[in-house]
């Protein structure tokens, strides 16, 4: 299976979605459907670590790179997400360099960080793999993605992206528009100008930028992604499993259901 940290650095385009359903079968379908990665969402998904572990297994079976969004920026949450075999973590509510450093340190074993060490974890094949080799590889391959949020986070983007050891950041265009006082106007020049600055900051820092898109219209999503690509972005998510499934079922049911008889 491809390695997330390598793909983010070398690929000209990667596409993912968010897994909020506690269903290994749905996640496998995502993996068979032209997606490169999926984000197992333990912040807004209604499931715990045991389910997340099985979702990681499903991702591996379908050859799609698994990322876990942890619910909070806490070391034990980050440690457990990586212990179950996630290739990376998304850490939400990042607003400062201090928060960024806390998340990055929690994802790395000594001497690079403070991640709790246990050889008998799934990511290390339950101690079948030799510990020193596993720890070294994990420090290199475990990908840290920070979700920069809120007005404070937007103000501190430059110092956040320059944090040592950071792999990628994610900024939601809608969240950004609200922070800039133009809520929902994703094409507003303030939003575009800010993102152009962020793209430059990330490029200077050697950090990747991931853009989420939640358009349910396929053509609108495609056009939006092409617009971001023209600005230099390479990595995207579209929808969530719930959103895409609900949208399709609503359209399909509405299309085949007979119209009410005229009276």
Domain ranges of the chain: 4-256
- The structure tokens listed for 262 are 């005229």
Segment 204-219 mean pLDDT: 94
**Banded pLDDT at 5 (limits 50, 70, 90):** very high
Token pair 């974890």 in the structure block, residue: 121
How confident is the model over 151-181, as pLDDT tens digits? 899 999 999 999 999 999 999 888 888 888 9
| pTM: predicted TM-score of the whole model, two decimal places | 0.94
Q: Report the range of poorest mean pLDDT among 17-21, 27-31, 75-79, 257-261.
A: 257-261
Say yes or no: domain 4-256 is CATH 3.40.50.1370.
Answer: no
**Banded pLDDT at 258 (limits 50, 70, 90):** confident
Report the DSSP pairing between strands 143-148 and 88-94: parallel
Predicted pLDDT of residue 263: 62
**Rounded Cα–Cα distance for residues 106 and 208 (Å):** 20
Please tell me whether the peptide bond between 60 and the residue prior to it is cis, using omega within 30 degrees of 0. no
Contact 11, 39 (CB under 8 A): no
Segment 219-244 mean pLDDT: 94
Nearest to 231 by CA among 201, 188, 200: 200
């Amino acid at each position: 299976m491809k390695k997330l940290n390598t793909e983010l650095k070398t690929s000209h385009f990667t596409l993912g979605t968010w897994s909020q359903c506690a269903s290994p079968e749905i996640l496998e379908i995502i993996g068979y459907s032209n997606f490169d990665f999926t984000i197992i969402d333990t912040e807004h998904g209604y499931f715990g670590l045991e389910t997340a572990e099985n979702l990681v297994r499903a991702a591996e079976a379908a050859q799609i790179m698994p990322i876990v969004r942890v619910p909070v920026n806490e070391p034990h949450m980050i440690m457990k997400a990586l212990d179950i075999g996630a290739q990376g973590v998304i850490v939400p509510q990042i607003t400062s360099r201090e928060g960024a450093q806390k998340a990055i340190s929690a994802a790395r074993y000594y001497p690079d960080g403070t991640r709790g060490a246990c050889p008998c974890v799934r990511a290390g094949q339950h101690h079948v793999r030799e510990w020193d080799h596993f720890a070294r590889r994990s420090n290199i391959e475990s990908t840290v993605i920070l979700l920069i949020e809120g007005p404070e986070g937007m103000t501190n983007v430059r110092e956040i992206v320059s944090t040592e050891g950071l792999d990628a950041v994610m900024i939601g265009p809608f969240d950004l528009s609200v922070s800039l006082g133009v809520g929902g106007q994703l094409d507003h020049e303030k939003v575009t100008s800010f993102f152009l600055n962020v793209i430059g900051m990330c490029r200077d820092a050697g950090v990747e930028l991931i853009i989420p898109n939640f358009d349910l219209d396929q053509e609108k999503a495609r056009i939006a992604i092409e617009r971001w690509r023209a600005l230099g972005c390479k990595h995207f998510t579209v929808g969530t499993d719930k959103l895409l499934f609900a949208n399709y079922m609503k359209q399909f049911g509405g299309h085949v259901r007979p119209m009410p008889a005229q009276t």
